[in-house]
Amino acid sequence: MPTRTQEALQEFWATKVAKVGVVFLVTLILISVFVLVFYPLNFGEELWNNPIVWADNPKAVGPSWTQAFSSQAQAEHLIFELPEPVESDFSQGFKRQLFQVSFLFEADDFPQFTSFTMRDVQFQEDPPFVTLILHRPDGEAIILLDVDIPYPEPEDSPPYVFYSEDPRRIYLSGSPAVRLAVATFARRQLNMEVLVSDIAAVGPEKFMFGVPSSQGGRATDVLKGEYTLSVLVEGVHADDAMGSARFVVAGQLFGLMGTDNLGRDLAVGLLFGFPVALFIGVVTSTLTAGVGGILGVISGYKGGKVDMVIQRTVDILNNVPLLPILIFLLFIVGSSLWNIVILLVVFGWTSLTIIVRSMVLQIRDGEFIQASVALGAGTRRIIFRHILPQVAPFILAQLIFFTPSAILAEAALSFLGLGDPSIPTWGQILDRGFSDGALYLGYWWWIIPPGILIVIAAVTFVLIALGFEPVINPRLRRRR
């Protein structure tokens, strides 16, 4: 027996497709292991579907490396953590903190948005004043915003601490106060006829980081150079303070794979898709092959009524248009990963049962089994000693062959919006991109990679299955 297995493996390894398939498979497994080690298990609910996590990422922008193919310098994504004030003093009854960061902005395009987040604001009586000032390379400064910190509730007692559990994020691009400040700045310092409504339409960054364009009108060009953001915190008690802050100048490019329209890092989501695809493929195909194989053996060996019931079921399931029924059932029972897997198994086992049954019939009626039965061998012994060893390699090959179908079926269902929302898959990322119009906007980084990954995962198993073909089917072996 070991020699037969060895021989089969040699035969398998001799084919080029099998080698490519195995290399692919090992890669898939390694990436999946990496993800399982480094990702939290509730990644989908806690991170992926939580917009707050992704709020500071630029929305729907391409991968960073596309810069290499672009003649324009795209804005990089800049995140500045301001962990502590650069200055802090308390004199004459006034507490003053200054947080500051300077950065070079040399891109040809404006930032997508700007945001400011503050943490651990604490005070004794009245809330402190927090003022955001942007100093520009041309020497001008814009007082962007006086942050409005609410008064404490009467039942609370000092010291009051705000924004510690739940940092306060201000989306500067969308803030009416910022718009007004920038419009005023543009009118006074840039001498441009700009209304607040114009700023609302194009975003304040066009003026915060811009100078009037030579084209005239309300167009602006990027003002390149060193910018400084100052955050002034003013209170009346010695321990009135802001703990830390963060300032984001969102770029037009992000990370390895870009982002979707919620700012989600697609690289993170796509990586998570690896173990999920493998899980769906392998679990579904194993269960399918198991059910199909067992029912095939039972149907072939037992015969009679059991056989008839199984065969009629096969007839029906075989003649059902799969996808519409799957859509209907998933719609009714609700889409969860296990529901998808179970339904794929329920509708997938029939082809294997037919073949295994006919194999078992042939083996059962063979002289060898007849002789064993005559010698008093029990049913169990015959099935495990004589039938299973002959049928098993074939079931294994079919198992591999079922895997790409399962991966593709899940992707298709996800694409139709029937994926398990708590577990991001490649199909779901594609569906999201498609239904949000990424395709028509030309956001290829959102559309192409998940599809390619689906194809690669499926091809891996197709190649391995093709490698097994000459092992299972000697007729093909001779021809090659």
> Given the rule CB under 8 A, which residues bind other proteins?
17, 315-316, 319-325, 327-329, 331-333, 404, 408, 411-412, 415-418, 430, 434-435, 439-440, 442, 444, 447-448, 451, 454-455, 458-459, 462-463, 466, 475, 479-480
Q: How far is the CB of 386 from other proteins (least distance, A)?
A: 27
The answer to whether 12 and 18 have CB atoms below 8 angstroms apart is yes
Nearer Cβ to other proteins (210/404): 404
DSSP3 helix / strand / coil % (the chain, rounded to 5): 55, 15, 25
Nearer Cβ to other proteins (159/417): 417
How far apart (Å, rounded) are the C-alpha atoms in residues 410 and 308?
Answer: 31
Nearer Cβ to other proteins (120/469): 469
- Amino acid identity of residue 164, one-letter, is S
Read out DSSP for 227-269?
A: EEEEEEEEESSTT-EEEEEEEEE--SB-TTT-B-TT--BHHHH
Nearer Cβ to other proteins (17/223): 17
Q: How far is the CB of 434 from other proteins (least distance, A)?
A: 7
Nearer Cβ to other proteins (27/88): 27
Indicate the SS3 state at residue 107.
Answer: coil
Number of H helices, E strands in the chain: 19, 12
Nearer Cβ to other proteins (361/462): 462
Q: How far is the CB of 193 from other proteins (least distance, A)?
A: 36
Nearer Cβ to other proteins (149/343): 343
Residues in the chain: 480
Q: How far is the CB of 351 from other proteins (least distance, A)?
A: 9
Q: How far is the CB of 428 from other proteins (least distance, A)?
A: 13
| CA–CA distances in Å: residue 158 to residues 61, 88, 153, 191, 240 | 44, 21, 11, 46, 11
- Which residues are within 8 A (CB) of 87 and not within 5 positions of it... i.e. 6 or more apart? 96, 97, 98
Q: How far is the CB of 267 from other proteins (least distance, A)?
A: 19
- Which residues are within 8 A (CB) of 62 and not within 5 positions of it... i.e. 6 or more apart? 252, 253, 254, 258, 443, 445
Q: How far is the CB of 43 from other proteins (least distance, A)?
A: 24
Q: How far is the CB of 84 from other proteins (least distance, A)?
A: 48
Rg (CA), the chain: 32
Q: How far is the CB of 33 from other proteins (least distance, A)?
A: 23
Q: How far is the CB of 346 from other proteins (least distance, A)?
A: 11
Up-side HSE of residue 375: CA atoms within 13 Å toward CB? Answer: 9
Nearer Cβ to other proteins (311/372): 311
Of 147, 158, 168, 164, which Cα lies nearest the Cα of 239?
A: 158
Would you call 355 exposed, middle or buried from its count of C-beta atoms within 10 A (0-12, 13-18, 19+)? middle
Would you call 480 exposed, middle or buried from its count of C-beta atoms within 10 A (0-12, 13-18, 19+)? exposed
Nearer Cβ to other proteins (308/448): 448
Read out DSSP for 149-161?
A: PPPPPTT--SSEE
Sign of CA dihedral 158, 163, 166, 171: positive
Nearer Cβ to other proteins (377/455): 455
Read out DSSP for 434-469?
A: HHTTHHHHT-HHHHHHHHHHHHHHHHHHHHHHHHHH
- Which residues are within 8 A (CB) of 92 and not within 5 positions of it... i.e. 6 or more apart? none
Nearer Cβ to other proteins (216/334): 334
Q: How far is the CB of 480 from other proteins (least distance, A)?
A: 8
Nearer Cβ to other proteins (190/408): 408
How far apart (Å, rounded) are the C-alpha atoms in residues 84 and 101?
Answer: 11
Q: How far is the CB of 319 from other proteins (least distance, A)?
A: 4
How far apart (Å, rounded) are the C-alpha atoms in residues 389 and 179?
Answer: 76
